[in-house]
């Protein structure tokens, strides 16, 4: 909320002499910037808006988001509109270097020329320039060679702009325009291939995002959110939660906090309409969804029972001491559902336990008009309410899963350790390096063979 | 963390005073070594200790914190049983927690400030002592204390205590439960008294300082299960992340002076009774208002035959607390204490007035603990069964309440802590305390606080009322290392630096020159900030 | 979990002491039906079924078998006559054709049998057998005292609502909520 106020203030500062038309254009640009959630990457926790410097954890290393304030020395102050558009939609900087697709230019490529124009007006005139240069990104060889992205873009980047589907409603098209473009949902929710490209035939069927898992949000009733109504999805995007079903954490909580909660009712309805038309060709024919798992169950069977070694009730004790104070002794949450139940909850009902583990390790932070949602972390952080180790979190997770969630899922301490490290690493770097080594070896062999032939 | 050329400041005690000063020192780039007599424990362990207690034991907060044999604190059973050797007309059966994090583990979180008059009892009313400085001097430190702990309170000046504030409360007041709302109505309508929201260190409506917001667990005493109430334990990991070294299970038993009578080192026992010596240049003893004077007395040496910092003879004297009486009322209408935090409001205006020349002031608070554990045994005693039993438990839970009368007390040199000849698990002397609340307090009960309490009971429509048979302890230990400008009759100066040893500081409740009626923690933390400023300056000049 | 579970195979090998003291492990979390396999409880099984029958007659609310097993274990420690007293209570209830406590309690003669009846009621309401600090606790969250006020009060240590959302009207004393 504070950032919005800062943006509004910046707007006021320069708006005085602007024409009414310019005002409207800048406002439109600001709205699009919110919808695109530029701030999520380009503003650090206590930093100036859009001044960059935030390190984004990717499976191939840390990528530092740049300063996109209109600073002439440290930001995009010298960018023409074409250069701005190219950065946004083609992933090319003004100096010609390629951006890493952590910047979701593959999605922003959908943006129309008019919307890019509005964004440009907003960034150039309504954002306060900050003359602080950000650190450079240093990915391991060969990914530090940005030129490699030329080939990647050639394979996977589409042409800029959006072509409506005339057979669908205006709202559906607006929804697709936003989802494919500004709100870039597929960049998290669509699984990626070996070269880290989105797999279009599996669109929105779920993907790992660091320690978290962006779940299947197709309209399939078993694998996705098919059982949600239009209003359910709008509620979720506005508030970050849906009682008895799901709540947002990790990057999605950020997206709700900074972006979705500010979208208009019409836009949210449009997004919902589009999303409810997306199928999942690989979903099972039947079965229960991740929202239907588990039941209320007493967690205190160990009261009055002496400690045994090993402790039969280790999971229950961990739950009771660390979780039940907010989530209830039956995991039922509070009566007003502000603290959610842990059964009928996608975080525990999903087949992939990443979100359960990550929630315990990192907590939940969301801020919406409803209020401040804060679950403390239980990892190694100084602010952790309790420092739980990998084995404890695995024991606790398994107890929660088997009593309140998907009883078929089991968590190992190794999985928890990997989550602590930021999630599974990509083997892309290793393969790329191996590939180059192999190529270099082949070249060396060729040179030797040719040289020896010449000698004869 | 970068190597500092400064030697670490040694802090004995990891309670709220110690951790607040530690953070100020680290902010100034000064390294810190903290020695804690007791263990490091997890919040989950304490919460489960509470839940596993039988219902009859849940009323004593110390039951969740069993002493370790080498660091006993007063408790009904275990290593700390019979720890305090008490004598005198009134009991000084204090309790506190010798664990890392200190007694804020179980405090209620109440954060009243002193008023200007509270600090000038002698010049205004001819009783007690004046503080070494006035409210205006202490006020900015109160503000820092409130922002450090995360104190919530009302914006409306008419509800603030006192209304003289330079900055608003960090968070707005918590909502009243139905009991407090009704109590507030009744005392205002019928008695013209203001039951105001308690200023309290509890996160109100929002997370603060990376700790969650209060969600009404009604368990503040004995432990906040989620850390929404500030307690010293929440600071420990953060201090370590910034380079502080915290040694737990380290019982300091001796303060060592050198030929210049400066403090040279402290000695501590580990649980195996091996002694370790820690030398340093600056020392802070903040291990609670009872253990601190005890340690000073134990450390008597050739240069200081009556104890460290005790040339005045005042160490261990002037032991103070807020003598309290509990009035339990039975009502005809439901009040439903138990919704929200356990102490959420109080009548403070009755602590002020010219009558303080004659007798103590008093503060009245509606205790907001859920009443089930107070009434269920009585209901069962009535021989009821079935529906009648259910109804009676419910009726008594809803229609009974505790109102606490908390009095101020004057410093009396005869209210004194000395070393008894009994020994604890480490062979260290158990403390002996002689205590008499004094006529100043007894007269208040007779002519002031009891009549008001009765009027409150009448206003509430009480059909039955019962009072404690004797003054009980509020667990606010004050006065044992009293502050003053004159080294002949005080132990520490305005910075909580001992008069006798320029590199020894004793911030905390022991330094308080007057008690007023409100809980002492916020004032202790304000003194901690004031001392910290002086300590930082002294460390940097050295 | 509302259905009884098959006991895991390993538990057959628990020692009698472990079974006695850890009865809860056997019926963890569940509302196990009264038809519990007798071998699961060693010799405390003799009294478990009548004990729960008596409990449900004396306390006309949903009772947890696991809590009952722990309470029974404590009662048995100092009462060799327990079985007989339970039988007597059942007989009195049967003679009054009682399904609720009010229908047969007045018929219980003063003395050890009535004392046991009061003790059992005490146990279910408080989660312990005596009002002393050294009592053994068999339940906390499931102690019935909390149920009588569950509409308005939280069980201490458990959150009641979202932050600052606990304002509510003074609900009347009657009716007692259903439980």
Q: pLDDT tens across B189-216, in order?
A: 999 999 999 999 999 999 999 999 999 9
pLDDT in tens, A333-370: 999 999 999 999 999 999 999 999 999 999 999 999 98
From chain B residues 203-242, the ones with a CB under 8 A of any chain C CB are 203-206, 213-219, 223, 225-226
Best A382, A388, A395 residue to mutate vs chain B (most B CBs within 10 Å): A382
In 3D space, the residue among B400, B491, B36 whose CA is nearest the CA of residue B249 turns out to be B36
Instruction: Specify the 3-state DSSP secondary structure of B445.
Output: helix
Q: Is the Cβ pair C139, A304 closer than 8 Å? A: yes
User: In this prediction, what percent of chain B has a pLDDT beyond 70?
Assistant: 99
Residues of chain A positioned with their CB less than 8 A from the CB of C157:
325
Q: Is the Cβ pair C173, B77 closer than 8 Å? A: no
Q: Is the Cβ pair C160, B205 closer than 8 Å? A: no
Task: Give all strands of the β-sheet with B429-434 in edge-to-edge order.
Answer: B85-87, B429-434, B416-423
Which helix (DSSP H) or strand (DSSP E) does residue B159 occupy?
Answer: none
Report yes or no: A325 at the B interface, CB cutoff 8 Å.
yes
Which residues lie closer than 8 Å to C140 by C-beta, 6 or more apart? A300, A303, B51, B52, B55, C127, C155
Q: B106, B434, B476, B501: which is the annotated catalytic residue?
A: B476
Q: Give the confidence band of B4 by pLDDT, cuts at 50, 70, 90.
A: low
Residues of chain C positioned with their CB less than 8 A from the CB of B150:
none
Q: What is the pLDDT of residue A304?
A: 82
Q: What is the pLDDT of residue A307?
A: 76
Q: Give the confidence band of A19 by pLDDT, cuts at 50, 70, 90.
A: low
Instruction: Specify the 3-state DSSP secondary structure of B3.
Output: coil
Rg (CA), chain C: 18
Q: Which one of A119, A142, A158 terminates a domain?
A: A158
Cα B529 to Cα B536: distance, rounded to the nearest angstrom: 10
Q: Is the Cβ pair C22, A306 closer than 8 Å? A: yes
Least confident range of A139-143, B95-99, B322-326, C73-77? A139-143
**Domain, as residue range, for C60:** 9-138
* C1-7: average pLDDT: 36
In a domain, C109, yes or no: yes
**Which residues lie across from B99 on neighbouring strands?**
none
Q: Is the Cβ pair C163, A372 closer than 8 Å? A: yes
In a domain, A337, yes or no: no
Cα-based angle C56, C60, C64 (whole degrees, multiple of 5): 55
* B452-480: average pLDDT: 98
In 3D space, the residue among B417, B402, B231, B232 whose CA is nearest the CA of residue B321 turns out to be B417
Give the minimum alpha-carbon distance from A256 to chain C in angstroms, rounded to a whole number: 19
The 3-state secondary structure of B280-325 reads CCCEEECCCCCHHHHHHHHCCCCCCCCCCCCCCCCCCCCCECCCEE
Please say whether the beta carbons of A219 and A279 come within 8 A.
Answer: yes
Give the minimum alpha-carbon distance from B208 to chain A in angstroms, rounded to a whole number: 10
- Write out the DSSP string of B452-511: HHHHHHHHHT-SEEEE-SSPBP-S--B-TT-B-S-TTS-SB-TTSBBSS-TTEE--SGGG
Give the number of domains in chain C: 1
Give the minimum alpha-carbon distance from C89 to chain A in angstroms, rounded to a whole number: 26
pLDDT in tens, A49-94: 999 999 887 777 888 999 999 999 999 999 999 999 999 999 999 9
From chain C residues 94-153, the ones with a CB under 8 A of any chain A CB are 127, 136-142
In 3D space, the residue among A54, A24, A23, A22 whose CA is nearest the CA of residue A37 turns out to be A54
The token duo for A206 is 């779920």
Q: What is the pLDDT of residue A397?
A: 98
* CA–centroid distance for B235 within its chain: 17
Residue A242: pLDDT over 60: yes
Whether the bond between B338 and the residue before it is cis, its omega within 30 degrees of 0, is no
Residue C22: pLDDT over 80: no
Residue C45: pLDDT over 80: no
Other beta carbons within 10 Å of B28:
15
Report yes or no: C158 at the A interface, CB cutoff 8 Å.
yes
Other beta carbons within 10 Å of C8:
9
Q: Is the Cβ pair C134, B225 closer than 8 Å? A: no
Which residues lie closer than 8 Å to B216 by C-beta, 6 or more apart? B339, B340, B341, C154, C159, C160, C161, C166
Residues of chain B positioned with their CB less than 8 A from the CB of C141:
51
Q: Which residue of C has its CA nearest to B378?
A: C131
Q: What is the pLDDT of residue A144?
A: 79
Which residues lie closer than 8 Å to C156 by C-beta, 6 or more apart? B58, B217, B218, B219, B338, B369, B370, B373
Q: What is the pLDDT of residue A174?
A: 97
Q: Is the Cβ pair C1, A403 closer than 8 Å? A: yes
Buried b / exposed e over A373-404, threshold 16 CB at 10 Å, is: bbbbbbbebbbbbbebebebbbbbbbbbbbbb
Q: What is the pLDDT of residue C88?
A: 97
Q: What is the pLDDT of residue B353?
A: 98
Give the minimum alpha-carbon distance from A366 to chain C in angstroms, rounded to a whole number: 14
Q: Is the Cβ pair A338, C160 closer than 8 Å? A: no
Q: For residue B474, what are the CA distances in angstroms to A148, A176, A239, B18, B71?
A: 71, 65, 44, 22, 22
Q: Which one of A117, A133, A158 terminates a domain?
A: A158
Q: Give the confidence band of A439 by pLDDT, cuts at 50, 70, 90.
A: confident
Q: Give the confidence band of B459 by pLDDT, cuts at 50, 70, 90.
A: very high
Give the minimum alpha-carbon distance from A389 to chain B in angstroms, rounded to a whole number: 13
Which helix (DSSP H) or strand (DSSP E) does residue B160 occupy?
Answer: none
Q: Is the Cβ pair C101, B393 closer than 8 Å? A: no
Residue A13: pLDDT over 70: no
Best A306, A362, A374 residue to mutate vs chain B (most B CBs within 10 Å): A374
User: In this prediction, what percent of chain A has a pLDDT beyond 70?
Assistant: 96
Give the minimum alpha-carbon distance from C2 to chain B in angstroms, rounded to a whole number: 24
Rg (CA), chain B: 23
Other beta carbons within 10 Å of A408:
9
Q: Closest partner residue to B211 among A318, A376, A386, by Cβ?
A: A376
Cα-based angle B56, B57, B63 (whole degrees, multiple of 5): 180
pLDDT in tens, B132-155: 999 999 999 999 999 999 999 999
Rg (CA), chain A: 24
In a domain, C14, yes or no: yes
Residues of chain A positioned with their CB less than 8 A from the CB of C67:
303-304
| Subunits close to B (at least 3 CB pairs below 8 A) | A, C
* C66-90: average pLDDT: 95
Residues of chain C positioned with their CB less than 8 A from the CB of B367:
none
Helix spans in B311-385 (H)? 372-381
* A151-166: average pLDDT: 88
The token duo for B355 is 């009558």
Q: What is the pLDDT of residue A436?
A: 79
Cα A328 to Cα A334: distance, rounded to the nearest angstrom: 7
Residues of chain C positioned with their CB less than 8 A from the CB of A339:
159, 162
Residues of chain B positioned with their CB less than 8 A from the CB of A384:
237
Residue A182: pLDDT over 60: yes
Report yes or no: B202 at the C interface, CB cutoff 8 Å.
no
Q: Is the Cβ pair B386, C102 closer than 8 Å? A: yes
**Which residues lie across from B366 on neighbouring strands?**
B403
Report yes or no: C60 at the A interface, CB cutoff 8 Å.
no
* B51-59: average pLDDT: 97
Cα C65 to Cα C31: distance, rounded to the nearest angstrom: 6
The token duo for C39 is 């071998």
Q: Give the confidence band of A16 by pLDDT, cuts at 50, 70, 90.
A: low
Residues of chain A positioned with their CB less than 8 A from the CB of B48:
317, 320-321
Best C164, C171, C172, C174 residue to mutate vs chain B (most B CBs within 10 Å): C164
In a domain, C156, yes or no: no
Q: For residue B83, what are the CA distances in angstroms to A43, A61, B73, B102, B323?
A: 56, 58, 7, 18, 21
Q: Is the Cβ pair C24, A304 closer than 8 Å? A: yes
* B434-457: average pLDDT: 98
Helix spans in C105-175 (H)? 112-126, 144-147
Report the topology of domain B9-171+197-321+412-433+477-541. FAD/NAD(P)-binding domain (3.50.50)
Residues of chain B positioned with their CB less than 8 A from the CB of C174:
391, 394
Q: Are strands A246-247 and B283-285 parallel, antiparallel or unpaired?
A: unpaired
Q: Give the confidence band of C44 by pLDDT, cuts at 50, 70, 90.
A: low
pLDDT in tens, A103-157: 999 999 999 999 999 999 999 999 999 999 998 888 877 777 787 788 888 888 8
Q: What is the pLDDT of residue A420?
A: 95
Residue B85: pLDDT over 80: yes
Q: What is the pLDDT of residue B140?
A: 98
Q: What is the pLDDT of residue C174?
A: 97
Q: Which one of A134, A158, A182 terminates a domain?
A: A158
The 3-state secondary structure of chain A reads CHHHHHHHHHHHHHHCCCCHHHHHHHHHHHHHHHHHCHHHHHCCCCCCCCCCCCEEEECCEEEECCCCCCCCCCCCCCCCHHHHHHHHHHCECCCCCECCCCCCHHHHCCCCHHHHHHHHHHHHHCCCCCCCCCCCCCCCCCCCCCCHHHHHHHHHCCCCCCCCCCCCCHHHHHHHHHHHCCCCCHHHHCCECCCCCECHHHCCCCEEECCEEECCCCCCCCCCCCCCCHHHHHHHHHHCEECCCEECCHHHHHHHHHCHHHCCHHHHHHHHHHHCCCCCCCCCCCCCCCCCCCCCCCCCCCCCCCCCCCCCCHHHHHHHHHCHHHHCCCCCCCCCCCCCCCCCCHHHHCCCCHHHHHHHHHCEEEEECCEEEEECCCCCCCCCCCCCCHHHHHHHHHHHHHHHCCCCCCCCHHHHHHHHCCCCCCCHHHHHHHHHHHHHHHHHHHHHHHHHHHHC
Please say whether the beta carbons of A122 and A29 come within 8 A.
Answer: yes
Question: Using N-to-C axis directions, what is the helix angle for A314-322 and B43-52, rounded to 10°?
Answer: 100
The token duo for A330 is 């039956």
pLDDT in tens, A311-334: 889 999 999 999 999 999 999 999
Cα A448 to Cα A435: distance, rounded to the nearest angstrom: 20
pLDDT in tens, C124-148: 999 999 999 999 999 999 999 999 9
* A302-316: average pLDDT: 86
Name the pTM for this structure. Answer: 0.91
Residues of chain A positioned with their CB less than 8 A from the CB of C137:
303-304
Q: Are strands B9-12 and B32-35 parallel, antiparallel or unpaired?
A: parallel
Average pLDDT over all residues of chain B: 97
In a domain, C146, yes or no: no
Q: Give the confidence band of B2 by pLDDT, cuts at 50, 70, 90.
A: very low
Is residue B476 annotated as a catalytic residue, yes or no?
yes
**Domain, as residue range, for A114:** 1-158
Q: Which residue of B has its CA nearest to A329?
A: B51
In a domain, A209, yes or no: no
Q: What is the pLDDT of residue C19?
A: 39
Q: Give the confidence band of A9 by pLDDT, cuts at 50, 70, 90.
A: low
**Cβ pairs B/C, distance under 8 A:** 180
In a domain, A40, yes or no: yes
Q: Is the Cβ pair A325, B51 closer than 8 Å? A: no
Q: Is the Cβ pair C133, B56 closer than 8 Å? A: yes
Q: What is the pLDDT of residue A15?
A: 53
Q: Is the Cβ pair C127, B175 closer than 8 Å? A: no
């Amino acid at each position: 909320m504070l950032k919005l106020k800062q943006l509004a203030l910046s707007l006021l500062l320069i708006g005085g002499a602007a024409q009414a038309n310019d005002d409207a254009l800048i406002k439109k640009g600001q709205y699009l910037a919110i919808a695109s959630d530029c701030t999520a990457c380009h503003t650090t926790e206590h930093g100036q808006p859009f001044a960059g410097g935030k390190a984004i954890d990717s499976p191939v290393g840390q990528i530092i988001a740049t300063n996109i304030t209109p600073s002439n020395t440290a930001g995009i102050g010298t960018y023409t509109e074409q250069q701005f558009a190219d950065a946004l939609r083609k992933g090319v900087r003004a100096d010609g270097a390629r951006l890493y697709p952590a910047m979701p230019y593959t999605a922003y490529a959908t943006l129309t020329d008019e919307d890019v124009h509005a964004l440009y007006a907003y960034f150039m005139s309504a954002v306060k320039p900050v003359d602080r240069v950000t650190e450079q990104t240093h990915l391991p060889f060969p990914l530090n060679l940005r030129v490699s992205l030329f080939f990647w873009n050639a394979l996977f980047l589409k042409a800029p702009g959006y072509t409506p589907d005339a057979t669908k409603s205006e709202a559906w098209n607006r929804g697709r325009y936003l989802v494919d473009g500004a709100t870039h949902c597929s960049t998290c929710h669509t699984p990626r291939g070996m070269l880290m490209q989105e797999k279009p035939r599996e669109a929105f069927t779920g993907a790992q995002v660091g320690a978290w898992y962006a779940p299947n949000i197709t309209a399939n009733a078993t694998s996705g959110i098919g059982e949600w109504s239009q209003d359910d999805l709008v509620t979720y995007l506005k508030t970050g939660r849906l009682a008895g079903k799901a709540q947002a954490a990790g990057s999605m909580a950020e997206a709700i906090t900074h972006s979705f909660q500010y979208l208009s009712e019409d836009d949210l309805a449009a997004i919902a309409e589009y999303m409810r038309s997306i199928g999942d060709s690989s979903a099972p024919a039947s079965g229960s969804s991740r929202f239907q798992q588990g039941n209320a169950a007493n967690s205190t069977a160990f009261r009055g029972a002496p400690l045994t070694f090993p402790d039969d009730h280790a999971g229950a004790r961990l739950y009771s001491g660390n979780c039940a104070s907010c989530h209830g002794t039956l995991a039922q949450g509070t009566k007003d559902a502000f603290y959610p139940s842990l059964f009928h909850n996608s975080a525990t009902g999903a087949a992939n336990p990443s979100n359960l583990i990550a929630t315990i390790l990192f907590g939940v932070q969301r801020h919406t008009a409803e209020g401040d949602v804060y679950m403390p972390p239980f990892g190694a952080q100084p602010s952790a309410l309790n420092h739980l180790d990998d084995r404890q979190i695995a024991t606790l997770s398994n107890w929660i899963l088997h009593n309140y969630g998907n009883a078929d899922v089991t968590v190992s301490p190794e999985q928890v350790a990997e989550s602590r490290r930021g999630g599974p690493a990509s083997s892309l770097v290793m393969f790329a390096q191996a590939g180059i080594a192999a190529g270099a070896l082949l070249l060396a062999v060729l040179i030797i063979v040719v040289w020896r032939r010449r000698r004869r | 963390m970068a190597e500092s050329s400064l030697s670490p400041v040694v802090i004995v005690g990891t309670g709220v005073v110690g951790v607040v000063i530690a953070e100020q020192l680290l902010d100034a780039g000064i390294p810190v070594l903290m020695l804690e007599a007791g263990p490091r424990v997890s919040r989950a362990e304490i919460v489960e200790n509470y839940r596993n207690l039988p219902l009859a034991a849940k009323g004593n907060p110390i039951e969740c914190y069993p002493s370790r044999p080498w660091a006993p604190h007063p408790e009904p059973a275990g290593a700390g049983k019979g720890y305090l050797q008490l004598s005198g007309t009134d009991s000084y059966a204090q309790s506190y927690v010798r664990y890392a994090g200190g007694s804020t583990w179980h405090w209620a979180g109440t954060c009243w400030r002193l008023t200007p008059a509270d600090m000038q009892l002698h010049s205004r009313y001819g009783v007690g002592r004046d503080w070494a400085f006035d409210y205006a001097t202490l006020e900015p430190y109160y503000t820092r204390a409130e922002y450090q702990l995360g104190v919530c309170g009302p914006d409306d000046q008419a509800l603030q205590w006192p209304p003289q504030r330079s900055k608003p409360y960090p968070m707005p007041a918590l909502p009243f439960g139905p009991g407090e709302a009704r109590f507030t109505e009744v005392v205002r309508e019928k008695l013209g008294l203001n039951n105001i929201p308690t200023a309290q260190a509890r996160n109100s409506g929002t997370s603060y300082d990376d700790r969650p917001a209060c969600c009404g667990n009604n368990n503040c005493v004995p432990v906040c299960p989620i850390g929404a109430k500030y307690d010293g334990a929440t600071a420990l990991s953060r201090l370590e992340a910034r380079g502080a070294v915290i040694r737990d299970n380290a019982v300091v038993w001796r303060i060592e002076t050198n030929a210049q009578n400066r403090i040279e080192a402290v000695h501590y026992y580990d649980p195996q009774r091996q002694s370790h010596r820690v030398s340093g240049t600056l020392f802070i003893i903040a291990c609670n208002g009872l253990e601190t004077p005890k340690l000073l007395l134990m450390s008597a040496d050739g240069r200081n035959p009556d104890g460290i910092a005790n040339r005045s003879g005042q160490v261990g004297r002037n032991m103070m607390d807020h003598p309290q009486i509990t009035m339990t009322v039975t009502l005809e209408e439901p009040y439903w204490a138990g919704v929200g935090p356990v102490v959420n409001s109080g009548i403070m205006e009755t602590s002020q007035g010219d009558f303080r020349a004659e007798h103590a002031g008093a503060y009245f608070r509606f205790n907001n603990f859920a009443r089930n554990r107070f009434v269920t045994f009585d209901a069962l005693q009535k021989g009821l069964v079935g529906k009648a039993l259910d109804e009676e438990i419910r009726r008594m839970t809803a229609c009974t309440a505790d109102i606490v009368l908390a009095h101020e007390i004057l410093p009396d040199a005869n209210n004194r802590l000395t070393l008894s000849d009994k020994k604890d698990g480490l062979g260290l002397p158990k403390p002996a305390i002689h205590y008499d609340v004094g006529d100043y307090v007894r007269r208040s009960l007779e002519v002031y606080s009891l009549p008001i309490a009765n009027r409150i009971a009448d206003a509430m429509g009480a059909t039955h009322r019962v009072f404690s048979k004797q003054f009980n302890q509020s667990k606010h230990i004050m006065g044992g290392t009293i502050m003053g400008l004159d080294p002949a009759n005080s132990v520490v100066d305005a910075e909580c630096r001992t008069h006798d040893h320029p590199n020894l500081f004793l911030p905390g409740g022991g330094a308080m020159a007057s008690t007023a009626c409100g809980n002492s923690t916020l004032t202790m933390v304000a003194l901690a900030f004031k001392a910290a400023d002086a300590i930082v300056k002294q460390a940097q000049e050295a | 979990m509302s259905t009884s579970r098959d006991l895991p195979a390993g538990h057959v090998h628990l020692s009698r002491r472990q079974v006695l003291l850890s009865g809860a492990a056997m019926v963890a979390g569940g509302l196990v039906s009264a038809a519990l396999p007798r071998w699961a409880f060693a010799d405390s099984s003799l009294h478990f079924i009548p004990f729960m029958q008596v409990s449900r007659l004396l306390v006309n609310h949903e009772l947890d078998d696991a809590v009952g097993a722990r309470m029974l274990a404590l009662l048995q420690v100092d009462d060799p006559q327990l079985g007989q007293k339970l039988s007597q209570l059942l007989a009195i209830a049967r003679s009054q054709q009682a399904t609720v406590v009010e229908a047969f309690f007045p018929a219980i003669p003063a003395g050890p049998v009535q004392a046991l009846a009061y003790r059992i009621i005490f146990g279910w309401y408080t989660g312990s057998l005596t009002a002393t600090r050294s009592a053994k606790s068999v339940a906390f969250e499931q102690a019935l005292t909390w149920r009588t006020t569950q509409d308005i009060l939280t069980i201490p240590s458990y959150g009641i609502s979202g932050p600052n959302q606990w304002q509510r009207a003074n609900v009347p004393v009657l009716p007692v909520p259903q439980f």
